Amino acid sequence: MYLPIIYLIICILINCAAFILGLGFLGQILVLIMGLNVFILQKFIHRDLLKNLGFRKCGLVSLGKGFLLPISILGFISIINIFSGFVKIQSLSEIKNPFNSGLPISSLNDLLIFLLINFSILFILEFFTEELLFRGYLLNRLSIRMGEMKGIFISSIIFGLWHLPISIWLIGFDPIRTSIYILNMFLLGSVFSSLFLESRSLIPVAIFHALWNTLEYNLYGFANQTGLLTGTNRILFDPEEGIIGTAVLLIWAVVLFSKKLELKKGITQHAT
């Protein structure tokens, strides 16, 4: 039971070291290697099938949720921000994120192309790194030994802590902003986990994760960079670093957990 937790803690420490040493792209290669090491652990240590890591087909409903959930959540946050005056809409040329830095976006067609490129790259990266590590491996192993609810809670805490070095490296040491960011990553991890457990497939949750990052980076920018929507207080309006994001993600997490508890209760009553 403890091996998956220990392995992910080691991964977090390696991730911290990569950021401290400024390894950049090499650091991302290390993260990919950490994800691929899961195959060895699953096959030779746990003696389990690789498909149980999430390498399986999923239904159209789960696939649809992978696309619709990030659009719905970020759309709701954006509507609140725009109508409350927390953000204003900038020109397309102001969008800055890791994938288009230095490259101009002057039209809607340019934006759509960048979104497609962002999503395609991130889908592959998230599938074989964070989703394979945290949902396919950690959540899966914890759920087997401790049950789904405890598995979601513990894996989401570790997922939140995983983002600590990223936060400090990108936005500096800001206790309030970093704390909100880690909390939001915990909540987002809970939503990811619930979606994964519905289908036991990495495909929907990797779609969700990749589309979330694609839209979030382009709408709100990346770290201290600007996006299509900008404001003066990121602690307030940002989906990942702000309290508006906290409130909306908390609502979604509660809704998903409530449905899971109702389903579990119904199964228990039917069994008795």
Question: 147-153: long-range contacts at Cβ-Cβ below 8 A with a sequence spacing of 24 or more?
Answer: 148/197, 148/260, 149/257, 149/260, 149/261, 151/193, 152/190, 152/193, 152/194, 152/197, 152/257, 153/190
Segment 220-235 shows an average pLDDT of 83
Q: Look at residue 153 and tell me whether its pLDDT is greater than 80.
A: yes
Segment 54-66 shows an average pLDDT of 95
pTM of the full predicted structure? Answer: 0.92
The residue that leads in pLDDT, 100 or 95, is 95
Placement of tokens 């087997």 in the chain: 144
Tokens of 232: 């003066």
Segment 74-92 shows an average pLDDT of 93
Average pLDDT over the chain, rounded to whole?
88
> 2-11, 123-132, 201-210: which range is least confident on average?
2-11
Give the pairing type, strands 229-230 and 88-89.
Answer: antiparallel
Number of C-beta neighbours around residue 208 at 10 A = 26
Segment 237-260 shows an average pLDDT of 92
pLDDT at residue 157 in the model: 97
Segment 171-199 shows an average pLDDT of 93
pLDDT at residue 107 in the model: 75
The residue that leads in pLDDT, 165 or 25, is 165
> 70-74, 90-94, 140-144, 166-170: which range is least confident on average?
90-94
How many residues would you count in the chain? 272
Q: Look at residue 103 and tell me whether its pLDDT is greater than 80.
A: no
Segment 48-65 shows an average pLDDT of 95
